Structure 1
Amino acid sequence: MTSRSTQAETIGDLGEFPLISLITRNLTLPPAVSVGPGDDCAAYLINGSALTTTDMLIEGVHFRRSWSSPADIGHKSVAVNLADVEAMGGTPVAMVISLGLPADLPVTWVKEFMTGVREEAELGGVALVGGDMTGARDISISVTVIGETAGRGPILRSGARPGDIVAVCGRLGWAAAGLAALLRGFRSPRAAVDSQRAPKVPYGAGRQAADAGATAMIDVSDGLLADLGHIAEASGVAIDLDSARFTIAEPVQAVAAALNADPLGFVLGGGEDHAMAATFEPGKVPEGWDVIGQVRQINDEVGPIVLVDGQEWEGEKGWTHFHP
């Protein structure tokens, strides 16, 4: 017998509760989750303090259907949230997703979106335990992830101290280069464009940094300079980056050459790669992390700021919503 989900072409044809059943079918729940989708709340156990983070992704702001496949958008929706838990040195446990969807959206779009969600959730080690759904003009996605600290304190932005080493783990500039290419109608280099569509979070790097004694940490979502600026402000320090220490990836260089742009600008001001940036005491930077600078004392002339080679960067420092 043909199921209703295979007969329906749009989610309006299918209906709300059959769509929920389609989304939650055959979910795998870890032992820590005792109640998953189907009740008014999920129930799960955590070890240590609870970490909670949420991000919204709005069609036309964070993604375009003409650029990204439904699976890409599913990957991105989960990854941007898991990166926040990584940046606190935590371990993800549970995730809920709320969706605002147009009634004429094809059922196949939702199926492919959920494929991306499930694949990224498996990569990051988090369980989907519930969510919500409503009709909307444009696709709106809100993901909340709950993590745990596993018996230790979270790594904050406020712990950097003068003399600490600044290091990063993960890609820098790839997503920004991909966005620049897409905005000009290009679909290559494929590696950069794919990084914009679905970021490659360095899963495990945050917990590795916490184990190594990271003094402060953040994920690079809005741009390296902008995000390190949050650490500088919260910690009351200056951060000085050494441009000679950055290795600029070939796809980033290729986009910069095609657009007659400075590739370092993508690295310093580009967001959405969700690399980890952290500060460490000298000699404690873990393997796989790249040293890019140092934390310095502020004084009457230099307040909390991020410098590049001792000077303020004159280019874009990162993304901010509501910027004129």
Structure 2
Amino acid sequence: MDLSHPADRTRVPSPTAPPAAAEATLAEVGEFGTIARLVARFGTGPQVLLGPGDDAAVVAVGGAGGSGGGRVVLTTDVLVEGRHFRRDWAEASDIGARAAAQSLSDVNAMGGRATALTVGLAVPPGTALAWVLGLADGLAAESALVGAVVVGGDLTRADTVVVSVTAMGGVDGEPVTRGGARPGDLVAVNGRLGWAAAGLAVLGRGFRSPRAVVDAYRRPVVPYAAGPQAVQLGATSLVDVSDGLVADLGHVCASSGVDALLESAALVVDEPLQAVGSALGTDPTDFVLTGGDDHALVATFAPGTALPAGWTVLGQVVAAAEERGRVLVDGQAPAGEGGFRHF
């Protein structure tokens, strides 16, 4: 979730660089357009069982295609001070827990469970040691929720705090990707939606209450058991809601070549979100549809699947219209961009 916009820095082109006016910027190309161009430069290999484009990658170890070895689920997330967190809004342990949760949830969204993490930490030299140790405590506490351990990383100097977390794990059976949703499937969510976004809205206006949503922003409550459970229930697709329900479900629809039709009556708008919406003069449903950072799981299941407690059916998958990958609410496209955008 973007918190602020650092001052622009002057960029001096190299003598061989093309004129600045002829260069495309990341703002023009966008996050996913940039990623597509990067991926094209890296290529692939027989050890890559699932490459870029999902919540995590899956690679073979001990032999191509997993022969003679096993498979590892891998994912990396980066948090930058001033853009993803502010030290005056959260304790160091909360920031550490939140950093771990982002990557742990990505493994969860493949139907897996993380076993190890590595952490890269860049900090200014004047940073208090107590703050760094608090960050470590938060990383360790969140990792312990899934039985994972921080096994290494890197520490370096920087002008601002940057935390990079790589999570590694495994999955029983085949990982569940974003590309398996089929027309007629149920769309269901496990976990809270909109709480962190409501907390960010409160903090951004200088308030600290309702405490429940502020705490949700500081330290998300991730449904870690839901990923493996979704695999057992036969989920056809899975995604972590980090950028917003509409945006992340849209990735599932685009990968699967389908649309999703949600029902507004099925959306759970909890009382704290209603209170924030009323206080700020905004529609609290927007928190649910476009708010990220809660790391709920959204899955699709075959029609008629009996879902246990914790899962809420929001709608169904439908055949794609002219432009595939749409998420509609009561038949209409939601207002706005539908989630967080990095550029």
> What interval of TM-score do these two structures reach, taking the shorter chain for normalisation?
0.7 to 0.9
Deviation at 1:285, TM superposition (A): 4.6
* In structure 1, distance between residues paired with 2:259 and 2:281: 31
Q: Any idea what SS the aligned residue of 2:145 has?
A: helix
Q: What is the 5 A alignment of 1:32-71? A: 48-71=70-93
- 8 Å Cα contact 1:98/1:131 also seen in 2: yes
What's 1:72 paired with?
94
Deviations 1:173-208 (A, max 9, x none): 000000000000010101101111111111110110
- 8 Å Cα contact 2:115/2:146 also seen in 1: no
Q: What is the 5 A alignment of 1:1-324? A: 48-150=70-172, 152-287=173-308, 288-300=310-322, 303-322=324-343
> What amino acid maps onto 1:95 in structure 2?
L
What value does the CA root-mean-square deviation take over the aligned residues? 1.5
* In structure 2, distance between residues paired with 1:76 and 1:168: 20
> What amino acid maps onto 2:226 in structure 1?
A
TM-score when scaled to structure 2? 0.79
* In structure 1, distance between residues paired with 2:155 and 2:284: 41
What's 2:20 paired with?
none
Q: Any idea what SS the aligned residue of 1:178 has?
A: helix
> How many matched pairs?
277
* In structure 1, distance between residues paired with 2:316 and 2:70: 31
Deviation at 1:316, TM superposition (A): 4.1
Unaligned runs of 5+ in 2: 1-60
Q: Any idea what SS the aligned residue of 1:312 has?
A: coil
Q: Any idea what SS the aligned residue of 2:165 has?
A: strand
* In structure 1, distance between residues paired with 2:152 and 2:91: 23
- 8 Å Cα contact 1:48/1:149 also seen in 2: no
* In structure 1, distance between residues paired with 2:199 and 2:324: 34
Deviation at 1:48, TM superposition (A): 4.6
Deviation at 1:148, TM superposition (A): 0.6
> What amino acid maps onto 1:114 in structure 2?
A
* In structure 1, distance between residues paired with 2:264 and 2:92: 37
Q: Give the percent of matched residue pairs that are identical in Structure 1 and Structure 2.
A: 52
Following superposition, which runs of at least 4 residues in structure 1 exceed 3 angstroms of deviation?
44-48
Deviations 1:141-171 (A, max 9, x none): 0000011123x11100000000000000001
Q: Any idea what SS the aligned residue of 1:214 has?
A: coil
What's 2:21 paired with?
none
Deviation at 1:251, TM superposition (A): 1.1
